[in-house]
Each structure stands twice: as structure tokens, then as C-alpha cells.
Chain A
């Protein structure tokens, strides 16, 4: 289980290879990459700065991964989240999960992203044509994270919503 917060870009292919290399128990890998878009809430975005809380951010990510591990039969997991200045099309976050079967990998990967969005201390400040603005938290992200509370009793099933 690895968690990294860094300014540098990442190579998803190399990271996935590093995670799966030489482990014949792995039958499935699910991965997610979040990217910077050039538009948000109706305004064009020229770039953004991602701030974090050194120490707490890494700890929060480790706790989220450990929670995923307690809910699903996963073999390994990796989270890389970038901070600092980013431009549209840049990669922001990578989540990779390995497991014996796809159900666990898909579910754990989505769970880690949903919890990361609402529990890991990162803040985005966007640079728009109207000046810079701090991004507001979304209620839809709280709902996405909240659905895992109800589904805690049926861990291997992927949510249908």
C-alpha cells in the first residue's frame, strides 16, 4: 500500500507495472486518473493551484486505503495525488487497486476516490478569466461518499448508482 503526495507528474503505466509485477495472485487491476479540465461551474479555467496539509493529507490517504482494505479483498493499492500549480489536461490524481477478481478492484478504487474527495485535505484554487477563486466543496461529492456508509454490509457489490 503506497500513498504519495507530489508536485511531479506520474506515469500511470509504469506505476501499474510496478504494482503488479511478479505477483501471480493478481487477476484484476482497476485504476482511476483525475485530470484538470479547462472549465468549471460555467467559467473557463486557465490553471489551478492545489494546496494540502503536509502530514495530515498523507495520513488521511493512508486511512482511506486502509479502510478500503478492510472492506474488500484487495491485494495492493496505490494513491498518487499532485499538489502545486497545474494546467488543463494535467493529471491530478491516480488510484490503482489490485485484487484477484474485478469486483473488489472496481469497488475499492471507486471507494478510495469518493472518500478522497471528501476526507483528504486538499484545496483547489482556480485561475479563471474573472480572477482566481477557491473551489467550493460539492454536495454531490458528499452524496457519493455517503452511499458507501449504507453499502458497508455488502462489501463486494459495486453500487448501481
Chain B
């Protein structure tokens, strides 16, 4: 299982703060996860459209499209940060 967290604007527009997903041959890296989420249609396909800036972390480290996902990983999706 994969734990997926959503923060800030994404959490509100997607209407969820976390969920669990089953890994599959199509879902084994960050790019695959994004594809899977976009396939749900609006608002997922809008908020996670390729042109939108969405940051992804895997196990508390910033990740890229090619970052692999493994069972038990914690993935988070969030907008660019605005602290300080």
C-alpha cells in the first residue's frame, strides 16, 4: 500500500487530506501515480494537469517523476511552498 497525503490548496481543491492506494505495474513511480490520479477526471485532472506546478515528496524527501514507489512509501503532493 501507498499512503498519499495532500496539503494546502491541493487538499482543499481535491477534497481530501490522505488516502491509500494499491501499487500496481502501472503505479510504480511518481509519474505513474500522477497518471492514475489524473484519470479520475475533474478536479484531479485540472489540479494535477501537466502545466500546473505540483511538488511531490516521497518519504519526506523531494521527488521527481521518475522517483520509484515501493510498498509502505508515504507520498505527498503540495503546491510550491510559501513559508517564512
Q: How far is the CB of B25 from chain A (nearest CB, A)?
A: 28
A-B interface contact total, Cβ < 8 Å: 70
Return the chain B residue nearest A49 by Cβ: B8
How many residues from B make CB contacts under 8 Å with A?
Answer: 17
Given the interface contacts A51-B7, A53-B7, A134-B8, does A117 sit within 8 Å of B83 by beta carbon? yes
Q: How far is the CB of B79 from chain A (nearest CB, A)?
A: 7
Identify the stretch in A22-30, A70-78, A98-106, A122-130 within 8 Å (CB) of chain B at 4 or more residues. A122-130
Chain A interface size, under 10 / 10 to 19 / 20 to 34 / 35 or more? 20 to 34
Decide: B84 and A123 in contact? CB cutoff 8 A.
Answer: no
Residues of chain A within 8 A of B53, CB atoms compared: 137
Return the chain A residue nearest B60 by Cβ: A56
For window 57-108 of A, CB contacts with B under 8 Å fall at 59, 81, 92-93
Q: Within the assembled complex, what's the spacing in Å between the Cα atoms of A119 and B82?
A: 9
Residues of chain B within 8 A of A125, CB atoms compared: 8
Decide: B81 and A56 in contact? CB cutoff 8 A.
Answer: no
Q: How far is the CB of A75 from chain B (nearest CB, A)?
A: 23
Decide: B60 and A123 in contact? CB cutoff 8 A.
Answer: no
Q: How far is the CB of A121 from chain B (nearest CB, A)?
A: 5
Q: Point out which of B7, B9, B76, B82 has the most chain A C-beta atoms below 10 A from its C-beta.
A: B82
B44 within 8 A of A: no
Return the chain B residue nearest A57 by Cβ: B83
| Residues of B in contact with A (beta carbons under 8 Å apart) | 5, 7-9, 12, 53, 57, 60, 62, 76, 78-84
* 23 A-B pairs (CB sep. < 8 Å): A50-B83, A53-B5, A56-B57, A56-B76, A59-B60, A81-B84, A93-B83, A116-B83, A117-B81, A118-B80, A120-B84, A121-B7, A122-B83, A122-B84, A123-B7, A123-B8, A123-B79, A124-B83, A134-B8, A134-B9, A134-B79, A134-B82, A136-B80
